[in-house]
Amino acid sequence: MPWAPGGAHGASNRNHGILPGERHRGGADVSPKVTTAPPPRAAGSVTVEIAAENMAFDTSTITVPAGAEVTMNFDNRDDGIPHNVAVYTDSSAAKEIFVGDIIAGPERATYTFTAPEPPGTYFFRCDVHPFMNGAFIVT
């Protein structure tokens, strides 16, 4: 009679002891690891649209991310008039970043080039008509 309660308690305690122990071991196995690798530098790519019509570009600014692969869809809508889009470091147009082929309208061209790395305000223009120009902004 005095043994029965003791035995029951003993069995109960033994079962109780196993379950928390197993849960603890499992928790240790799946402990999250902290990754310290820096995120990869991805300049990415960007597509910009620009049109020339009535001897003017349809935008005064082109904005792209630093170092991005730029796809520029140029639409020359001026019938029989040659235009291009060229990007220079500044309005002196002394140092070119990219010079697109000149096309006579109505015609489209797809230009691809890499944007400069240093953020800043550069310059774009039509080489045939330098008064057609604007700011090429790298962010």
Contact 134, 51 (CB under 8 A): no
Based on the shown chain and the rule CB under 5 A, indicate whether residue 125 belongs to the binding site for Cu ion. Answer: no
The residues facing 86 across adjacent strands are 99, 125
Tokens of 116: 């400069």
Q: How far is the CB of 126 from Cu ion (least distance, A)?
A: 3
Q: At 108, is the secondary structure helix, strand, or coil?
A: strand
Based on the shown chain and the rule CB under 5 A, indicate whether residue 77 belongs to the binding site for Cu ion. Answer: no
Among 71, 75, 77, 129, binds Cu ion (CB under 5 A): 129
Based on the shown chain and the rule CB under 5 A, indicate whether residue 50 belongs to the binding site for Cu ion. Answer: no
Binding-site size, Cu ion (CB under 5 A): 4
The residues facing 114 across adjacent strands are 69
Residues at the site binding Cu ion, with contacts judged by CB under 5 A: 83, 126, 128-129
